Structure 1
Amino acid sequence: MFTENKTTEFKREYIDDIKNTIVAFANCDGGTLYIGVNDDGTVRGVNNVDDTMLRVTNAVRNAVRPDITMFVECHNDVMDDKPIVYVTVQRGTARPYYLQGKGIRPEGVYVRQGASTVPATEAAILNMIKETSGDSYETARSLNQHLTFNKAADFFKKRKVEFGKTQMRTLHLIGEDDMYTNLAFLLSDQCTHMIKLAVFEGSRKTIFKDRRELSGSLLEQLEEAFDYIDRYNRTRAEFAGLDRLDMRDYPPEAIREALLNSIVHRDYSFSSATLISIFEDRIEFVTIGGLVKGITLDDIKLGVSVLRNQHLANIFYRLRLIEAYGTGILKINECYDDYAVKPMIETTNNAFKITLPNTNFHAEDKDLDTPKTDSFTSVAKKEERMNAVLKLCRSKGSIVRSDVEMALGVSQSTAILLLRELTDGGILIKKGKTKNLRYYENKGC
């Protein structure tokens, strides 16, 4: 006589919960299920062997996901002169296996605990996913398999990129087991990862002026977050003679790159939201997930890129949201080439923060001690200053923005306008980036 244990189970007859035991065996160390044997190990037999075997194979094929049939074999035998059916189950390679009608949650995922079949804990389910999928969050099987992609499909359509089942497989939204991955979850309408935006009065987190929380497809969150920030990206007007020059608080390209960085490089294995805080003098983007192991902040500033979410980045690349990997931080810095204030990047083991300074706020601060005659008051004044800048450039060979400020006694914003006017007109040319940016006379014009 033999007894039940972790890899052996008896059933007097076929009952519906037999599939629970098969799922448990596949999720653990495998096992054998005997039908027609009493709990005490005595043989009872089955009345109709063929019908019992058919019911077992149908249950395995129709009720269990992912496909487990290659790990299950159903046989008939005779024990104590009585016909029985026994089912051998191997440990599966695509765990966790679960009941299709219940999903990947405790009531649908079973494991063996001694001689019993019990629902798996959430921690056990996550461990099985990690063991079979590796450490990559985006390629792991999504716990939610009831996903829709209405917003993502609209976004792909606007960008004229195909988004059918074939493309979903190519883009790794559907895994080799025909199940939705976490990457699919991130693009789905059901995505629970959030972006939280807040607007504060002044430069401290004391008084809220407005706030908003975004969820759903990351593509929808991207659009809504950019539009929200843009509403608070004010325009400051300066005049060069009769010409009006509009200057935004923040370079839109810098906002775009900081926002894309916070979405593409976030560690989605954490549930905490991405935080975007808008102050009077700056915008802060705080992303969960520090630098990828082995990469330093200096590496990032040089354009080195090691992707945490490679497949997500590839989708953003196909949608022409990012041009190349590792250029986002460089672009942000380039947007501030003509300004004294610069973006600031900070990182910890579990977080990444980009701070964009408000260029108009800092320009206004400096202008408080500058006579109002700094602004262009006439076309003649404008031409006089442009000629002075050109003369300065010829005498020094090349100049930087601070040279113009000191030589002409003008504010930062006025110096920027003068240099921009001269470069747009082809009189000067720019060479270098960020701290090494210099202006030279265009001798070919």
Structure 2
Amino acid sequence: MNFRESEVVELKEIDTEDIKKELIRRMIKETDGDRFEGMRSVEQELTFNATEQEFALRGIEFGKSQEKTLGIINSDGIYTNLGLLMSDQCNYTIKTAIFQGNDQMVFKDRQEFSGSLLKQMNDVYRYLELYNKTRGEINGLVRVDTRDYPPVALREALLNMLVHRDYSFSASAMIKIFDNRVEFISIGGLATGAELSDIMTGASFCRNQNLANVFFRLELIEAYGTGIQKMMQSYEEYGMKPKIEITSNTFKVTLPNVNAFEDEIKQLQNVSEEEALVLSYLKEHYRITRADVEKIFDVSPSTASRLLRRMSEENLLQQQGKGRSVRYILPREK
């Protein structure tokens, strides 16, 4: 079943008014010298079934002594917000949306994952794996299989979202899956004092030190500051790399679909120079209009229209809308 544009409203990522209120609260907390994960949890009736299972799976003891050492309970024996994040009652969620094609016009599925962050980690990763298709090609007598996304990149992007998210915001984190990419949108920008260039070189600015220690204890992260570098390295053999975008309130990682990129390369080998430029533009912007073509080639409206019409007839493009709202995208799989 396909869901139409009217329903996409329900997937609104961030309410700007909520962001403003939460940002003010966060500034007050930081001014007072408090950090979210160390503050007392409003909810004290907590259970840790998923966390206990994860620790047991790795042969690591998890009891009251460990809860205190990790910062799940404070010196007074009261559960902290870290305890809430690790508990089965955790009220922070991750929402996922599967879209048809490379834009948000139509989506095919949506899920919301809740519970302990460790449960969310396992559930979301399994979900992503369902959509990480394998393409097999025969090279002589050898079959070569290529996943749409390097598993290492999916894993590190998900862990980065869980560990470094700003939990003083209540909005859900988002994962969007398109035909040609996956977007991980985490709440909260970079930690105070950090720059993107610092992160890319492996510097560590950890917003949630105690949470990171839990994941480190479970050997889910090997060392601070290596996740982004692992993502980048996993794409080196394909001649591409993930894209990172940062605002004051969000941290977005986009992983390109390796097999979709290969299809585009093959397609470019059989097209004219003008058509190749249009397809390259679509790779970055996902849609193109006649006005865009006019600017790219500095041509008249009629010339731009002829190029787009020809590419549509050759099934290089798919037209959406009519009249002044016409735009073009890459053809969707049947």
TM-score by length of 2: 0.71
Equivalent of residue 143 in structure 2, options 237, 244, 247 = 244
The answer for the alignment partner of 1:314 in structure 2 is 213
* Structural mapping, 1:81-120, within 5 Å: none
- Name the aligned partner's letter for residue 292 of structure 1: A
The answer for the alignment partner of 2:189 in structure 1 is 290
* Counterparts of 2:96 and 2:208, CA distance in 1: 23
Deviations 1:11-70 (A, max 9, x none): xxxxxxxxxxxxxxxxxxxxxxxxxxxxxxxxxxxxxxxxxxxxxxxxxxxxxxxxxxxx
- Name the aligned partner's letter for residue 99 of structure 2: F
1:142 partnered with 2:15:
no
Please say if residues 173 and 182 of structure 1, whose CA atoms lie closer than 8 Å, have aligned partners that are also in contact.
yes
* Counterparts of 1:130 and 1:325, CA distance in 2: 25
- Name the aligned partner's letter for residue 241 of structure 2: K
* Counterparts of 2:174 and 2:108, CA distance in 1: 16
* Counterparts of 1:230 and 1:223, CA distance in 2: 11
- Name the aligned partner's letter for residue 333 of structure 1: M
The percent identity for this pair of structures is: 53
* Structural mapping, 1:113-192, within 5 Å: 130=29, 134-192=33-91
* Counterparts of 2:247 and 2:123, CA distance in 1: 28
Secondary structure at the aligned position of 1:294 is classed as: coil
Please say if residues 277 and 283 of structure 1, whose CA atoms lie closer than 8 Å, have aligned partners that are also in contact.
yes
The answer for the alignment partner of 1:222 in structure 2 is 121
Please say if residues 133 and 139 of structure 1, whose CA atoms lie closer than 8 Å, have aligned partners that are also in contact.
no
Q: 1:152 to 1:132 in 2, by over 3 A?
A: farther
1:364 partnered with 2:263:
yes
- Name the aligned partner's letter for residue 202 of structure 2: G
Please say if residues 151 and 189 of structure 1, whose CA atoms lie closer than 8 Å, have aligned partners that are also in contact.
yes
Post-superposition offset of 1:133:
7.8
Could you say which structure has the higher strand fraction? 1
* Structural mapping, 1:287-436, within 5 Å: 287-370=186-269
Please say if residues 133 and 140 of structure 1, whose CA atoms lie closer than 8 Å, have aligned partners that are also in contact.
no
1:274 partnered with 2:173:
yes
* Counterparts of 1:330 and 1:248, CA distance in 2: 20
Deviations 1:81-101 (A, max 9, x none): xxxxxxxxxxxxxxxxxxxxx
Post-superposition offset of 1:370:
4.5
Deviations 1:145-182 (A, max 9, x none): 00001111111111111100000000000101210000
- Name the aligned partner's letter for residue 340 of structure 1: G
Large movers: runs of 4+ above 6 Å: none
Deviations 1:311-339 (A, max 9, x none): 00000001010000000000000001112
Secondary structure at the aligned position of 1:368 is classed as: helix
Post-superposition offset of 1:135:
2.7
The answer for the alignment partner of 1:430 in structure 2 is none
Q: Which has the larger radius of gyration?
A: 1
* Counterparts of 2:87 and 2:115, CA distance in 1: 7
- Choose 213-222 or 333-342, whichever is displaced more: 333-342
* Counterparts of 1:336 and 1:151, CA distance in 2: 32
- CA-based RMSD: 1.9
Unaligned runs of 5+ in 1: 1-122, 372-445
Deviations 1:377-431 (A, max 9, x none): xxxxxxxxxxxxxxxxxxxxxxxxxxxxxxxxxxxxxxxxxxxxxxxxxxxxxxx
Could you say which structure has the higher helix fraction? 2
* Counterparts of 1:157 and 1:301, CA distance in 2: 34
Secondary structure at the aligned position of 2:199 is classed as: helix
Please say if residues 272 and 288 of structure 1, whose CA atoms lie closer than 8 Å, have aligned partners that are also in contact.
yes
Please say if residues 172 and 183 of structure 1, whose CA atoms lie closer than 8 Å, have aligned partners that are also in contact.
yes
Secondary structure at the aligned position of 1:342 is classed as: coil
* Counterparts of 1:135 and 1:204, CA distance in 2: 41
- Name the aligned partner's letter for residue 258 of structure 1: A
- Name the aligned partner's letter for residue 138 of structure 1: E
* Counterparts of 1:233 and 1:135, CA distance in 2: 40
Unaligned runs of 5+ in 2: 1-21, 271-334
Post-superposition offset of 1:132:
11
The answer for the alignment partner of 2:301 in structure 1 is none
- Name the aligned partner's letter for residue 306 of structure 1: F
Post-superposition offset of 1:185:
0.2
